Amino acid sequence: MKYKMIRRRRRDSTTNYTRRIAMLKSGLPRVVVRKSNRGIIMQIVEYSEKGDRVVVSARSGELSEFSWQPRSNMPTAYLTGCLLAKKAKGLKESQYVLDTGLYKPIKSSVVFAAAKGSIDSGLKIVSGIEADEKRISGEHIAGYAGSIKGDSDAYKRQFAAYTRSGFSPESIKHAFEQAKKKIGA
């Protein structure tokens, strides 16, 4: 039964077993980062023969407690990483390995922004992570919002979710700093 599941997961391209085994050989717990259309999910996972065990988990939806409107963007990913590190403060593990799943490790991606948030908040992740600080703080979003402000139809279409919740995309950097401060990063 177990062998059939492994074959199915490989055939459906839901698990890259070559990469997974390489991570498991390190013996370190993994920081798993997953991105969806609605948010970011981060977990610290330990391997067990009976199945992986999730030790700590953070979801971008939890950021609304810190006055942040969660989206699936780089500032949200960074803040989710900070939140995971805050929740993991009491763990005895000293190092972790980054598990990006099927995502390709692309410089300055959302997955790396989440890992950078964890590193900046105290987790030691063994990986070569590069992320652009301006994109992490949301300056690119504010710049784009300012550039299309004159075209009201395009602005409304692009930033309707922001404005519905009473959030101005032009002030995203200030909101990011406030949320980061509230998390304690």
Kindly tell me if the per-residue pLDDT of 13 is higher than 80. Answer: no
Token representation of residue 134: 């301006």
pLDDT digit string, tens, across residues 163-185: 787 788 888 899 999 999 999 85
In a domain, 33, yes or no: yes
In a domain, 102, yes or no: yes
Domain of residue 119 covers 2-132
- Centre a 10 Å sphere on the Cβ of residue 185 and count the other Cβ atoms it contains: 18
Check residue 43 and report its DSSP letter: E
Kindly tell me if the per-residue pLDDT of 120 is higher than 60. Answer: yes
In a domain, 76, yes or no: yes
Query: Any bridge partners for residue 107, and if so which?
Result: none
* CA 75/CA 172 separation, integer angstroms: 9
- Looking at the structure of the chain, the number of domains it has is 1
In DSSP notation, 110-121 reads: HHHHHHHHHHHT
In a domain, 144, yes or no: no
pLDDT at position 61, please?
A: 93
Query: Any bridge partners for residue 98, and if so which?
Result: 31
This model's pTM is above 0.75: yes
Kindly tell me if the per-residue pLDDT of 6 is higher than 80. Answer: no
Nearest CA to 10 out of 49, 105, 51, 18 is that of 18
Q: Name the least confident of 29-43, 108-122, 146-160, 168-182.
A: 146-160
Q: Name the least confident of 4-13, 14-23, 104-113.
A: 4-13
Q: Are 90 and 57 in contact (CB under 8 A)?
A: no
In a domain, 103, yes or no: yes
133 CB contacts (<8 Å, ≥6 apart)?
A: none
In a domain, 86, yes or no: yes
Count Cα neighbours of 39 within 13 Å in the Cβ-side half-sphere.
15
pLDDT at position 2, please?
A: 58
Residue 170's Cα: distance from chain center in Å? 22
* CA 42/CA 84 separation, integer angstroms: 7
91 CB contacts (<8 Å, ≥6 apart)?
A: 44, 55, 56
26-35, 45-54, 107-116, 173-182 — most confident range:
173-182
Phi, psi of 33 (to 5 degrees): -120, 125
147 burial type by CB count under 10 A (0-12 exposed, 13-18 middle, 19+ buried) = exposed
**161 or 115, which is more confident:** 115
The CATH number given to whatever domain includes residue 95 is 3.30.420.100
